[in-house]
Structure 1
Amino acid sequence: MSVTDAAIEAIKQMIVDGELKPGDRLPREPDLAERLGLSRNSLREAVRALSLIHVLDVRQGDGTYVTSLEPSLLMDAMGFVVDFHRDDTVLQFLEARRVIEPAATALAAARMSDDDIADLVTLLDSLGDTPTVDELVANDLEFHRRIAVGSANPVLSSLVESVSGRTQRARTWRGITQEGVVERTLAEHRAIQQALAARQPDVARAWATVHIAGVEQWIRQTLVEG
């Protein structure tokens, strides 16, 4: 389990145990970090992650609060964090994605229009320098959707979209917890786009495989550690 995951688990346990209730303010950062045996950096990352999925509410100049959700809804939100820790089905979808999507990408290198390939650059540039995780994942889904459509095979495109959508939560959690994931994702996306623009199906297929395998490897390791 990563340091960030351990910090998240510690805060979650305080909520589950009733020590922190909806609407409660978290203790001061140095006090909570010392009590949980965590570094302030790892605690800060955990708070950031939990605020992204609306379990915590960070109020500038005031403090950090447990959201005022009903306890059952709060636990549903926590399910977002642990769903793929408990169920390795997501790995099966990622394996399927690793088989299907590179083939669609190779076809797109031969069939996608020049304008549509150029538009991928605009899509990637639209993220700016500091995208949120939600923005990154939405951009990621749209990037791969457009390439699948560019394969000019509606059946294959439909398969890609169906399989890819089932891995969205895992990809979001990776974006929250894995260091450098934004830079890595964008670099791999640009490499795929450049292979498409150069009309190099084998190179496009290879980059798509590397890109998807990286997500799969991280999820597999996360499940093993969990």
Structure 2
Amino acid sequence: MRVRAGAALEERIIELIHERGLAPGEAMPTEPQLMEVLGASRNSVREAIRALQALGIVDIRHGYGTFVGQASLTGLTTSLAFRVRSSAGHGIRAIHDLVEVRELLETGLIGEVARARTSEAMLSALDALVTAMAHDPGADRAFHALLYENCGNELVLQLIGLFWDTYHEVEHLLGEPADRTGDLITNHRRIVDALRTHDADAARDAMRLHFRDVRDRITRAEAAAATDEAPEAS
């Protein structure tokens, strides 16, 4: 397979960032400087910079210049949602895989969080978010982000946010959800209670129970899709 010429230039710009030790937020070489260093035309450099901007690797600030970006994973939500919706079986199997990966990640992490000493301030904030779930869907996302805020792993926070955003982007493929707000709140309360007692096993069990409702909904959607696709008897 032939490699797109622009792709090679993008890789050279990334390598240049590393070679010069440029950190996120620092200014990139100017366009004329990139043209000279890379031996590329103005249009080629601009195309490569725009492609890197889409990936979050560079940040174009109009009127100020081009800077090294944070390369946040949140920008991948649209791509991942497209992949799910483009999958066979109405994307339901892909949603199953997405939720499975998130469950494995969070079930593994929550035990570590439970063993750590969670401050009363954080526990109170988690309690407040659980209460807010009755009227604010975004409280669920904020709850899971706060859970792992002190784990010291920025990638974890970005991955969990990516999976949450993508799931809610494609959730409509599962059909109309039942009103399970009460169960949602109860399950999250169990997680907080386990953190208060530093019970890692209880925390993992509570997290699995939280995901069980999601998995049950996916199972129902898979069964409905299979029924719709079954050939009619002649």
TM range (shorter): 0.5 to 0.7
1:142 is matched by which residue type in structure 2?
A
1:102 is matched by which residue type in structure 2?
T
Provide TM-score, normalisation by structure 2: 0.52
Count matched residues: 139
Q: Could you say what secondary structure the match of 1:166 adopts?
A: helix
Distance change (3 Å), C-alpha of 1:151 and 1:202: farther
Q: CA contact under 8 A between 2:133 and 2:185: conserved in structure 1?
A: no
The 2-side partners of 1:102 and 1:193 are apart by 14
Higher CA-based Rg: 2
Cα offset for 1:113?
2.8
Aligned equivalent of 2:223: 224
Distance change (3 Å), C-alpha of 1:173 and 1:146: farther
Cα offset for 1:176?
4.8
The 2-side partners of 1:91 and 1:99 are apart by 12
Residue segments in structure 2 that go unaligned for 5+ positions in a row: 1-84, 226-234
Aligned equivalent of 2:189: 190
Aligned equivalent of 2:120: 114
Counterpart selection for 1:125 from 120, 131, 135:
131
1:163-201 Cα offsets, whole Å, 9 max, x none, are: 22221135577795314x100100001111111111111
Aligned equivalent of 2:154: 154
The 2-side partners of 1:113 and 1:172 are apart by 37
The 2-side partners of 1:165 and 1:156 are apart by 14
Greater relative contact order, per chain length (Cα 8 Å cut-off, separation 6+): 1
Residue segments in structure 1 that go unaligned for 5+ positions in a row: 1-82
Counterpart selection for 1:86 from 79, 83, 90:
90
Distance change (3 Å), C-alpha of 1:194 and 1:90: same
Distance change (3 Å), C-alpha of 1:175 and 1:156: same
Cα offset for 1:141?
1.1
Distance change (3 Å), C-alpha of 1:99 and 1:225: same
Q: CA contact under 8 A between 2:103 and 2:211: conserved in structure 1?
A: yes
Distance change (3 Å), C-alpha of 1:125 and 1:158: same
Task: Please say which of residues 154-163 and 209-218 is displaced more in the overlay.
Answer: 154-163
Q: Could you say what secondary structure the match of 2:152 adopts?
A: coil
Aligned equivalent of 1:36: none
Q: CA contact under 8 A between 2:149 and 2:157: conserved in structure 1?
A: yes
Q: CA contact under 8 A between 1:98 and 1:213: conserved in structure 2?
A: no
The 2-side partners of 1:104 and 1:197 are apart by 16
Aligned equivalent of 2:164: 164
1:90 is matched by which residue type in structure 2?
I
The 1-side partners of 2:131 and 2:175 are apart by 18
1:30-58 Cα offsets, whole Å, 9 max, x none, are: xxxxxxxxxxxxxxxxxxxxxxxxxxxxx
Q: CA contact under 8 A between 2:133 and 2:181: conserved in structure 1?
A: no
Cα offset for 1:152?
3.4
Spell out the pairing of 1:30-49 with structure 2 (5 A cutoff).
none
Q: Percent of aligned positions with the same letter in both sequences?
A: 18
Cα offset for 1:124?
1.9
1:109-131 Cα offsets, whole Å, 9 max, x none, are: 12343311221111222345xx2
RMSD, aligned α-carbons: 2.8
Distance change (3 Å), C-alpha of 1:170 and 1:223: farther
Q: CA contact under 8 A between 1:104 and 1:147: conserved in structure 2?
A: no
The 2-side partners of 1:192 and 1:150 are apart by 16
Aligned equivalent of 1:143: 143
The 2-side partners of 1:188 and 1:171 are apart by 20
